[in-house]
Amino acid sequence: MSLAPRLDLRQSQSLVMTPQLQQAIKLLTLSNLEIEAFIGDALEANPLLEMGEIPARADRQDDGDGEARETPREERDADTLIAEGAAESDAPTDLSAAELEIDRDTGDGSWGAAEGFGGEDEGLGIDSHGGAALSLSEYLHAQVGAAGRDTREIVIARTLIERLDEAGYLTEPLREVADTLDIPLAEVERALHLVQSLDPAGVGARNLAECLAIQAREADRYDPCMARLIDNLDLLARGEIARLQKLCEVDAEDFSDMLAELRGYDPRPGLTFGELGGSPVVPDILIAPANDGGWRIALNEATLPRLVVNRPYLVELREGCRDRSSRAWLKDKLEDARWLIRALDQRQKTILAVASEIVTQQEGFFHHGVSHLRPLTLKQVAEKIQMHESTVSRVTSNKFLHCPRGTFDLKYFFTSGVGGGEDGEGASAAAVKARIKALTDAEDPKAILSDDKLVDLLKAEGFDIARRTVAKYREAMGIGSSVQRRRAKKLAGIGS
Protein backbone atom coordinates (compact mmCIF):
# COMPACT_ATOMS: atom_id res chain seq x y z
CA MET A 1 0.00 0.00 0.00
CA SER A 2 1.52 3.28 -1.13
CA LEU A 3 1.71 6.13 1.35
CA ALA A 4 2.81 8.69 -1.23
CA PRO A 5 0.65 11.82 -1.69
CA ARG A 6 -1.65 11.88 -4.72
CA LEU A 7 -4.51 13.88 -6.26
CA ASP A 8 -7.98 12.38 -6.78
CA LEU A 9 -11.10 13.81 -8.41
CA ARG A 10 -14.40 13.01 -6.72
CA GLN A 11 -17.98 14.08 -7.32
CA SER A 12 -20.47 14.48 -4.48
CA GLN A 13 -23.78 16.19 -3.85
CA SER A 14 -24.57 18.32 -0.82
CA LEU A 15 -27.16 20.89 0.14
CA VAL A 16 -25.60 24.24 0.89
CA MET A 17 -27.88 26.77 2.54
CA THR A 18 -26.95 30.28 1.53
CA PRO A 19 -27.56 33.12 3.99
CA GLN A 20 -30.47 34.24 1.80
CA LEU A 21 -32.07 30.78 1.87
CA GLN A 22 -31.66 30.63 5.64
CA GLN A 23 -33.32 34.03 5.92
CA ALA A 24 -36.20 32.98 3.65
CA ILE A 25 -36.84 29.95 5.88
CA LYS A 26 -36.76 32.18 8.95
CA LEU A 27 -39.32 34.55 7.41
CA LEU A 28 -41.84 31.72 7.09
CA THR A 29 -41.86 31.08 10.83
CA LEU A 30 -42.37 34.73 11.82
CA SER A 31 -45.80 36.18 12.58
CA ASN A 32 -46.92 39.41 10.91
CA LEU A 33 -45.96 41.43 13.99
CA GLU A 34 -42.50 39.82 14.03
CA ILE A 35 -42.19 40.57 10.31
CA GLU A 36 -42.93 44.21 11.14
CA ALA A 37 -39.94 44.29 13.51
CA PHE A 38 -37.78 42.48 10.96
CA ILE A 39 -38.67 45.05 8.30
CA GLY A 40 -37.75 47.84 10.70
CA ASP A 41 -34.25 46.39 10.99
CA ALA A 42 -34.04 45.98 7.20
CA LEU A 43 -34.96 49.64 6.66
CA GLU A 44 -32.12 50.70 8.93
CA ALA A 45 -29.61 48.42 7.21
CA ASN A 46 -30.49 49.21 3.60
CA PRO A 47 -30.97 52.86 2.51
CA LEU A 48 -32.60 51.77 -0.76
CA LEU A 49 -35.61 50.33 1.05
CA GLU A 50 -38.62 52.35 2.11
CA MET A 51 -42.14 51.70 3.30
CA GLY A 52 -44.73 51.56 0.55
CA GLU A 53 -48.49 51.97 0.72
CA ILE A 54 -50.59 48.87 1.30
CA PRO A 55 -52.01 47.93 -2.12
CA ALA A 56 -55.53 47.58 -0.71
CA ARG A 57 -55.47 51.20 0.39
CA ALA A 58 -53.79 52.59 -2.68
CA ASP A 59 -56.14 50.72 -5.06
CA ARG A 60 -53.69 51.25 -7.87
CA GLN A 61 -52.60 48.96 -10.69
CA ASP A 62 -49.76 49.36 -13.12
CA ASP A 63 -50.81 49.68 -16.77
CA GLY A 64 -47.49 48.31 -17.89
CA ASP A 65 -46.06 51.65 -18.96
CA GLY A 66 -45.05 52.74 -15.48
CA GLU A 67 -48.23 54.72 -14.92
CA ALA A 68 -50.82 53.73 -12.35
CA ARG A 69 -54.58 53.97 -12.54
CA GLU A 70 -57.31 53.89 -9.93
CA THR A 71 -59.10 50.54 -9.63
CA PRO A 72 -62.90 50.78 -9.36
CA ARG A 73 -64.21 49.20 -6.16
CA GLU A 74 -66.38 46.73 -8.04
CA GLU A 75 -63.31 45.40 -9.91
CA ARG A 76 -61.26 44.63 -6.81
CA ASP A 77 -61.00 41.04 -5.68
CA ALA A 78 -62.31 39.75 -2.36
CA ASP A 79 -58.86 39.65 -0.74
CA THR A 80 -58.34 43.33 -1.49
CA LEU A 81 -61.73 44.29 -0.08
CA ILE A 82 -61.06 42.41 3.16
CA ALA A 83 -57.64 44.02 3.48
CA GLU A 84 -59.17 47.42 2.78
CA GLY A 85 -61.62 46.94 5.61
CA ALA A 86 -58.74 46.15 7.95
CA ALA A 87 -56.55 49.02 6.77
CA GLU A 88 -58.89 51.98 6.66
CA SER A 89 -59.30 53.60 10.04
CA ASP A 90 -62.45 55.53 9.16
CA ALA A 91 -64.47 52.44 8.18
CA PRO A 92 -65.61 49.31 10.06
CA THR A 93 -62.43 47.32 10.69
CA ASP A 94 -61.60 43.68 10.08
CA LEU A 95 -64.46 41.23 9.57
CA SER A 96 -67.18 43.15 11.36
CA ALA A 97 -70.81 42.28 10.77
CA ALA A 98 -71.42 45.83 9.53
CA GLU A 99 -69.04 45.50 6.59
CA LEU A 100 -69.16 41.86 5.57
CA GLU A 101 -72.61 40.94 6.88
CA ILE A 102 -71.20 38.03 8.86
CA ASP A 103 -73.88 36.37 10.97
CA ARG A 104 -73.14 34.58 14.19
CA ASP A 105 -73.62 30.85 14.76
CA THR A 106 -76.93 30.24 16.49
CA GLY A 107 -75.71 26.96 17.93
CA ASP A 108 -78.07 24.79 15.90
CA GLY A 109 -75.84 24.53 12.86
CA SER A 110 -77.45 27.43 11.02
CA TRP A 111 -76.40 31.05 10.75
CA GLY A 112 -78.66 33.56 12.42
CA ALA A 113 -78.64 37.21 13.32
CA ALA A 114 -75.85 38.43 15.57
CA GLU A 115 -76.57 39.01 19.21
CA GLY A 116 -75.82 42.69 19.51
CA PHE A 117 -73.64 44.31 22.10
CA GLY A 118 -72.60 47.81 21.26
CA GLY A 119 -74.53 47.85 17.99
CA GLU A 120 -72.59 47.43 14.78
CA ASP A 121 -69.28 47.23 16.61
CA GLU A 122 -70.05 43.63 17.56
CA GLY A 123 -67.26 41.24 16.62
CA LEU A 124 -63.52 40.96 16.92
CA GLY A 125 -62.14 43.81 14.86
CA ILE A 126 -58.51 44.30 14.04
CA ASP A 127 -58.46 47.53 16.01
CA SER A 128 -59.82 45.79 19.08
CA HIS A 129 -57.35 42.97 18.68
CA GLY A 130 -54.31 45.12 18.30
CA GLY A 131 -55.03 48.15 20.41
CA ALA A 132 -52.89 48.37 23.53
CA ALA A 133 -55.69 50.19 25.39
CA LEU A 134 -58.18 47.35 24.90
CA SER A 135 -59.64 46.29 28.23
CA LEU A 136 -60.27 42.70 29.30
CA SER A 137 -64.00 43.42 29.52
CA GLU A 138 -64.15 44.75 25.95
CA TYR A 139 -62.20 41.80 24.61
CA LEU A 140 -64.47 39.27 26.32
CA HIS A 141 -67.68 41.06 25.31
CA ALA A 142 -66.50 40.94 21.69
CA GLN A 143 -66.18 37.15 21.86
CA VAL A 144 -69.20 36.13 23.90
CA GLY A 145 -71.83 37.04 21.30
CA ALA A 146 -70.49 34.43 18.87
CA ALA A 147 -69.77 31.79 21.52
CA GLY A 148 -73.11 31.77 23.37
CA ARG A 149 -75.88 29.31 22.61
CA ASP A 150 -78.81 31.64 23.21
CA THR A 151 -79.59 35.22 24.18
CA ARG A 152 -80.29 34.42 27.84
CA GLU A 153 -76.96 32.66 28.32
CA ILE A 154 -75.14 35.54 26.62
CA VAL A 155 -76.80 38.15 28.84
CA ILE A 156 -75.84 36.25 32.00
CA ALA A 157 -72.31 35.77 30.71
CA ARG A 158 -71.99 39.51 30.06
CA THR A 159 -73.10 40.13 33.64
CA LEU A 160 -70.35 37.84 34.90
CA ILE A 161 -67.77 39.55 32.67
CA GLU A 162 -68.57 42.87 34.32
CA ARG A 163 -67.89 41.27 37.72
CA LEU A 164 -64.36 40.06 36.87
CA ASP A 165 -61.44 41.76 38.58
CA GLU A 166 -58.45 43.15 36.70
CA ALA A 167 -56.66 39.78 36.84
CA GLY A 168 -59.64 38.02 35.22
CA TYR A 169 -60.98 36.32 38.37
CA LEU A 170 -64.61 36.13 39.48
CA THR A 171 -64.57 36.95 43.18
CA GLU A 172 -68.33 37.21 43.73
CA PRO A 173 -70.00 33.90 44.72
CA LEU A 174 -72.24 32.44 42.02
CA ARG A 175 -75.10 32.15 44.51
CA GLU A 176 -75.04 35.92 45.05
CA VAL A 177 -75.08 36.51 41.29
CA ALA A 178 -78.03 34.13 40.92
CA ASP A 179 -79.92 35.86 43.75
CA THR A 180 -79.21 39.30 42.27
CA LEU A 181 -80.50 38.24 38.86
CA ASP A 182 -83.28 36.13 40.38
CA ILE A 183 -82.41 33.11 38.25
CA PRO A 184 -81.50 29.47 39.01
CA LEU A 185 -77.91 28.82 40.06
CA ALA A 186 -77.56 26.27 37.25
CA GLU A 187 -78.00 29.01 34.63
CA VAL A 188 -75.25 31.11 36.19
CA GLU A 189 -72.96 28.08 36.25
CA ARG A 190 -73.56 27.43 32.55
CA ALA A 191 -72.87 31.09 31.75
CA LEU A 192 -69.66 30.95 33.80
CA HIS A 193 -68.58 27.93 31.80
CA LEU A 194 -69.12 30.01 28.66
CA VAL A 195 -66.96 32.84 30.04
CA GLN A 196 -64.25 30.34 30.98
CA SER A 197 -64.19 29.07 27.40
CA LEU A 198 -63.18 32.49 26.08
CA ASP A 199 -59.72 33.81 25.35
CA PRO A 200 -57.42 34.30 27.27
CA ALA A 201 -57.47 30.83 28.80
CA GLY A 202 -57.96 30.95 32.56
CA VAL A 203 -60.28 33.95 32.62
CA GLY A 204 -63.41 33.61 34.74
CA ALA A 205 -61.75 31.37 37.30
CA ARG A 206 -62.73 31.70 40.96
CA ASN A 207 -59.35 30.76 42.37
CA LEU A 208 -55.80 29.98 41.27
CA ALA A 209 -56.36 26.24 41.03
CA GLU A 210 -59.35 26.68 38.72
CA CYS A 211 -57.43 29.21 36.61
CA LEU A 212 -54.57 26.76 36.09
CA ALA A 213 -56.98 23.88 35.47
CA ILE A 214 -58.72 25.83 32.71
CA GLN A 215 -55.39 26.49 31.02
CA ALA A 216 -54.38 22.84 31.39
CA ARG A 217 -57.63 21.77 29.69
CA GLU A 218 -57.02 24.30 26.93
CA ALA A 219 -53.57 22.79 26.38
CA ASP A 220 -55.10 19.27 26.51
CA ARG A 221 -52.89 18.45 29.51
CA TYR A 222 -55.54 18.09 32.20
CA ASP A 223 -55.22 14.40 32.95
CA PRO A 224 -55.75 12.87 36.42
CA CYS A 225 -52.09 13.39 37.33
CA MET A 226 -52.17 17.09 36.45
CA ALA A 227 -55.48 17.41 38.29
CA ARG A 228 -53.90 16.07 41.48
CA LEU A 229 -50.98 18.46 41.09
CA ILE A 230 -53.28 21.46 40.70
CA ASP A 231 -55.52 20.32 43.58
CA ASN A 232 -52.50 20.27 45.89
CA LEU A 233 -50.82 23.58 45.16
CA ASP A 234 -50.40 24.10 48.90
CA LEU A 235 -47.91 21.23 48.98
CA LEU A 236 -46.00 22.81 46.13
CA ALA A 237 -45.88 26.12 47.98
CA ARG A 238 -44.49 24.37 51.07
CA GLY A 239 -41.86 22.56 49.02
CA GLU A 240 -43.17 19.06 49.77
CA ILE A 241 -42.12 17.81 46.35
CA ALA A 242 -41.66 14.14 47.21
CA ARG A 243 -45.13 13.92 48.76
CA LEU A 244 -46.68 15.74 45.82
CA GLN A 245 -44.97 13.44 43.30
CA LYS A 246 -46.29 10.42 45.18
CA LEU A 247 -49.82 11.83 45.09
CA CYS A 248 -49.54 12.37 41.33
CA GLU A 249 -48.34 8.77 40.85
CA VAL A 250 -45.68 9.66 38.27
CA ASP A 251 -41.92 9.22 38.04
CA ALA A 252 -39.42 12.04 38.54
CA GLU A 253 -39.10 12.83 34.83
CA ASP A 254 -42.85 13.10 34.25
CA PHE A 255 -43.26 15.13 37.42
CA SER A 256 -40.57 17.56 36.24
CA ASP A 257 -42.41 17.96 32.92
CA MET A 258 -45.67 18.61 34.77
CA LEU A 259 -44.08 21.32 36.88
CA ALA A 260 -42.57 22.93 33.78
CA GLU A 261 -46.00 22.89 32.12
CA LEU A 262 -47.61 24.40 35.21
CA ARG A 263 -45.03 27.21 35.40
CA GLY A 264 -45.84 28.08 31.79
CA TYR A 265 -49.44 28.98 32.65
CA ASP A 266 -50.49 32.53 33.47
CA PRO A 267 -51.85 32.87 37.02
CA ARG A 268 -53.35 36.29 36.19
CA PRO A 269 -54.52 36.16 32.55
CA GLY A 270 -56.46 39.43 32.75
CA LEU A 271 -53.36 41.54 33.37
CA THR A 272 -52.27 41.28 29.73
CA PHE A 273 -54.98 43.75 28.75
CA GLY A 274 -55.60 47.48 28.90
CA GLU A 275 -53.24 49.72 30.78
CA LEU A 276 -51.65 46.84 32.69
CA GLY A 277 -50.13 44.87 29.84
CA GLY A 278 -49.61 44.24 26.17
CA SER A 279 -52.16 43.61 23.47
CA PRO A 280 -53.89 40.29 22.80
CA VAL A 281 -53.26 38.07 19.82
CA VAL A 282 -53.42 39.80 16.44
CA PRO A 283 -54.51 37.50 13.59
CA ASP A 284 -52.29 37.06 10.55
CA ILE A 285 -55.05 35.68 8.31
CA LEU A 286 -58.63 36.89 7.90
CA ILE A 287 -61.50 34.61 6.89
CA ALA A 288 -65.00 35.76 5.93
CA PRO A 289 -67.99 34.05 4.26
CA ALA A 290 -68.35 34.72 0.54
CA ASN A 291 -71.65 35.34 -1.23
CA ASP A 292 -71.35 32.03 -3.08
CA GLY A 293 -71.21 30.03 0.14
CA GLY A 294 -67.44 29.72 0.13
CA TRP A 295 -64.83 31.69 2.06
CA ARG A 296 -62.76 34.77 1.38
CA ILE A 297 -59.18 34.53 2.62
CA ALA A 298 -56.69 37.36 2.97
CA LEU A 299 -53.62 38.34 4.95
CA ASN A 300 -54.11 40.99 7.59
CA GLU A 301 -52.53 43.89 5.71
CA ALA A 302 -52.99 46.14 8.74
CA THR A 303 -50.05 44.36 10.40
CA LEU A 304 -48.06 43.63 7.26
CA PRO A 305 -45.90 46.56 6.07
CA ARG A 306 -44.97 46.73 2.39
CA LEU A 307 -41.42 47.32 1.19
CA VAL A 308 -40.42 49.05 -2.05
CA VAL A 309 -37.19 50.30 -3.57
CA ASN A 310 -36.71 54.06 -3.23
CA ARG A 311 -36.04 54.68 -6.91
CA PRO A 312 -35.36 58.46 -6.74
CA TYR A 313 -32.73 57.83 -4.07
CA LEU A 314 -31.30 54.94 -6.13
CA VAL A 315 -30.85 57.25 -9.13
CA GLU A 316 -29.23 59.88 -6.93
CA LEU A 317 -26.77 57.38 -5.49
CA ARG A 318 -25.92 55.98 -8.91
CA GLU A 319 -24.94 59.41 -10.12
CA GLY A 320 -22.68 59.85 -7.10
CA CYS A 321 -20.93 56.46 -7.30
CA ARG A 322 -17.74 57.11 -9.25
CA ASP A 323 -15.34 54.41 -8.05
CA ARG A 324 -15.63 50.63 -8.39
CA SER A 325 -16.11 49.92 -4.68
CA SER A 326 -19.02 52.37 -4.41
CA ARG A 327 -20.73 50.86 -7.45
CA ALA A 328 -20.24 47.36 -6.04
CA TRP A 329 -21.73 48.46 -2.69
CA LEU A 330 -24.76 49.97 -4.41
CA LYS A 331 -25.23 46.86 -6.53
CA ASP A 332 -25.18 44.64 -3.43
CA LYS A 333 -27.72 46.83 -1.62
CA LEU A 334 -30.03 46.82 -4.64
CA GLU A 335 -29.83 43.04 -4.97
CA ASP A 336 -30.49 42.62 -1.25
CA ALA A 337 -33.51 44.94 -1.45
CA ARG A 338 -34.97 43.18 -4.47
CA TRP A 339 -34.41 39.76 -2.93
CA LEU A 340 -36.07 40.74 0.34
CA ILE A 341 -39.11 42.13 -1.48
CA ARG A 342 -39.43 38.91 -3.48
CA ALA A 343 -38.97 36.80 -0.35
CA LEU A 344 -41.71 38.67 1.50
CA ASP A 345 -44.02 38.31 -1.50
CA GLN A 346 -43.32 34.58 -1.68
CA ARG A 347 -43.96 34.30 2.07
CA GLN A 348 -47.40 35.87 1.62
CA LYS A 349 -48.28 33.54 -1.24
CA THR A 350 -47.15 30.50 0.75
CA ILE A 351 -49.16 31.50 3.83
CA LEU A 352 -52.28 32.08 1.71
CA ALA A 353 -51.82 28.71 -0.01
CA VAL A 354 -51.55 26.88 3.31
CA ALA A 355 -54.46 28.81 4.86
CA SER A 356 -56.65 28.16 1.83
CA GLU A 357 -56.02 24.44 2.01
CA ILE A 358 -56.74 24.40 5.75
CA VAL A 359 -60.07 26.14 5.12
CA THR A 360 -60.87 23.65 2.37
CA GLN A 361 -60.03 20.66 4.55
CA GLN A 362 -61.81 22.01 7.64
CA GLU A 363 -64.78 23.69 5.97
CA GLY A 364 -67.14 21.79 8.27
CA PHE A 365 -65.59 23.50 11.27
CA PHE A 366 -66.14 26.98 9.84
CA HIS A 367 -69.78 26.19 9.11
CA HIS A 368 -70.75 24.07 12.12
CA GLY A 369 -68.07 24.24 14.80
CA VAL A 370 -65.63 21.94 16.54
CA SER A 371 -67.84 18.85 16.21
CA HIS A 372 -67.05 18.88 12.48
CA LEU A 373 -63.29 19.27 12.87
CA ARG A 374 -61.61 16.59 10.75
CA PRO A 375 -58.35 14.73 11.39
CA LEU A 376 -55.64 16.59 9.50
CA THR A 377 -51.86 16.31 9.25
CA LEU A 378 -49.16 18.61 7.94
CA LYS A 379 -48.33 15.97 5.33
CA GLN A 380 -51.87 16.03 3.90
CA VAL A 381 -51.75 19.81 3.41
CA ALA A 382 -48.22 19.64 2.00
CA GLU A 383 -49.21 17.07 -0.60
CA LYS A 384 -52.25 19.08 -1.69
CA ILE A 385 -50.32 22.31 -2.25
CA GLN A 386 -47.19 20.49 -3.49
CA MET A 387 -44.85 21.81 -0.84
CA HIS A 388 -42.56 20.12 1.65
CA GLU A 389 -44.03 19.15 5.00
CA SER A 390 -41.40 21.22 6.82
CA THR A 391 -42.53 24.30 4.89
CA VAL A 392 -46.12 23.82 6.07
CA SER A 393 -44.86 23.33 9.62
CA ARG A 394 -42.97 26.64 9.49
CA VAL A 395 -45.92 28.48 7.96
CA THR A 396 -48.29 27.30 10.68
CA SER A 397 -45.94 28.34 13.50
CA ASN A 398 -46.82 31.60 15.31
CA LYS A 399 -49.72 32.31 12.92
CA PHE A 400 -53.31 33.04 13.91
CA LEU A 401 -56.47 32.89 11.83
CA HIS A 402 -59.53 35.03 12.53
CA CYS A 403 -62.98 33.89 11.38
CA PRO A 404 -66.56 34.45 12.57
CA ARG A 405 -66.00 31.78 15.24
CA GLY A 406 -63.06 33.58 16.79
CA THR A 407 -59.28 33.63 16.55
CA PHE A 408 -57.37 30.35 16.34
CA ASP A 409 -53.77 29.23 16.14
CA LEU A 410 -53.20 27.52 12.77
CA LYS A 411 -51.90 24.50 14.66
CA TYR A 412 -55.40 24.14 16.14
CA PHE A 413 -56.68 22.76 12.82
CA PHE A 414 -54.23 19.86 12.84
CA THR A 415 -55.62 17.14 15.05
CA SER A 416 -55.20 13.40 15.36
CA GLY A 417 -57.90 11.00 14.23
CA VAL A 418 -59.68 8.44 16.37
CA GLY A 419 -62.31 5.83 15.62
CA GLY A 420 -64.31 6.14 12.48
CA GLY A 421 -66.59 8.96 11.40
CA GLU A 422 -69.72 8.71 9.31
CA ASP A 423 -67.66 9.15 6.16
CA GLY A 424 -65.30 6.37 7.18
CA GLU A 425 -62.22 8.59 7.41
CA GLY A 426 -62.17 8.84 11.21
CA ALA A 427 -62.98 11.74 13.49
CA SER A 428 -60.70 14.27 15.10
CA ALA A 429 -59.96 13.97 18.80
CA ALA A 430 -61.37 17.47 19.26
CA ALA A 431 -64.64 16.46 17.59
CA VAL A 432 -64.98 13.39 19.81
CA LYS A 433 -64.28 15.48 22.92
CA ALA A 434 -66.88 18.03 21.84
CA ARG A 435 -69.45 15.27 21.36
CA ILE A 436 -68.69 13.72 24.76
CA LYS A 437 -69.14 17.12 26.37
CA ALA A 438 -72.42 17.71 24.52
CA LEU A 439 -73.77 14.35 25.62
CA THR A 440 -72.85 14.83 29.29
CA ASP A 441 -74.17 18.40 29.29
CA ALA A 442 -77.52 17.25 27.93
CA GLU A 443 -77.87 14.11 30.06
CA ASP A 444 -80.91 13.67 32.28
CA PRO A 445 -79.91 14.21 35.94
CA LYS A 446 -81.96 11.12 36.76
CA ALA A 447 -80.18 9.02 34.12
CA ILE A 448 -76.50 9.95 34.18
CA LEU A 449 -74.54 8.38 31.32
CA SER A 450 -71.85 5.84 32.20
CA ASP A 451 -68.70 5.54 30.08
CA ASP A 452 -70.09 2.35 28.55
CA LYS A 453 -73.29 4.17 27.59
CA LEU A 454 -71.25 7.02 26.10
CA VAL A 455 -69.35 4.47 24.01
CA ASP A 456 -72.65 3.04 22.72
CA LEU A 457 -74.03 6.50 21.87
CA LEU A 458 -70.81 7.50 20.11
CA LYS A 459 -70.73 4.27 18.11
CA ALA A 460 -74.32 4.91 17.02
CA GLU A 461 -73.10 8.23 15.62
CA GLY A 462 -70.20 6.59 13.79
CA PHE A 463 -67.41 7.14 16.35
CA ASP A 464 -65.84 3.74 16.94
CA ILE A 465 -63.68 4.30 20.03
CA ALA A 466 -62.84 2.27 23.11
CA ARG A 467 -64.19 2.84 26.60
CA ARG A 468 -60.74 3.76 27.94
CA THR A 469 -60.46 6.46 25.25
CA VAL A 470 -63.79 7.92 26.32
CA ALA A 471 -62.64 7.92 29.95
CA LYS A 472 -59.33 9.55 28.99
CA TYR A 473 -61.02 12.34 27.03
CA ARG A 474 -63.65 12.88 29.70
CA GLU A 475 -61.01 13.25 32.41
CA ALA A 476 -58.87 15.50 30.19
CA MET A 477 -61.84 17.88 29.85
CA GLY A 478 -62.44 17.86 33.59
CA ILE A 479 -65.74 15.99 33.30
CA GLY A 480 -66.28 13.79 36.33
CA SER A 481 -67.36 10.18 36.40
CA SER A 482 -71.05 9.28 36.31
CA VAL A 483 -71.08 9.06 40.12
CA GLN A 484 -69.38 12.44 40.49
CA ARG A 485 -71.72 14.10 37.98
CA ARG A 486 -74.81 12.67 39.65
CA ARG A 487 -73.66 13.98 43.03
CA ALA A 488 -72.69 17.38 41.63
CA LYS A 489 -76.03 17.87 39.87
CA LYS A 490 -77.95 16.93 42.98
CA LEU A 491 -75.97 19.47 45.00
CA ALA A 492 -76.65 22.12 42.37
CA GLY A 493 -80.36 21.47 42.65
CA ILE A 494 -80.66 20.07 39.14
CA GLY A 495 -81.47 16.50 40.10
CA SER A 496 -84.17 15.20 42.35
pLDDT at 438: 84
pLDDT at residue 425, as a whole number:
54
pLDDT per residue over 93-122, tens digit each?
233 322 222 232 333 322 222 222 223 233
> What pLDDT is attached to residue 136?
81
> Domain coordinates of the chain in residue numbers?
132-276, 418-491
Residues of the chain with pLDDT under 50: 56-133, 275-279, 421-424, 494-496
- Which one-letter DSSP state was computed for residue 291? T
CATH class of domain segment(s) 418-491: mainly alpha
Give the pLDDT confidence score for residue 357 in this predicted structure: 94
Distance CA 214, CA 222 (A): 8
The predicted-structure confidence for 441-456, as pLDDT tens digits, reads as follows 888 888 888 888 888 8
User: What pLDDT, on a 0 to 100 scale, did the predictor assign at position 350?
Assistant: 92
Would you state the pLDDT for residue 259?
Answer: 86
**What per-residue confidence (pLDDT) applies to 297?**
92
DSSP string, 410-469: GGGG---EES--TTSS-EEHHHHHHHHHHHHHHS-TTSPPPHHHHHHHHHHTT----HHH
287: buried, middle or exposed (CB in 10 Å: 19+, 13-18, 0-12)?
A: buried
With H, G, I as helix, E, B as strand and everything else as coil, classify residue 313. helix
This prediction has a pTM of 0.48
Do 464 and 420 form a contact (C-beta atoms < 8 A)?
yes
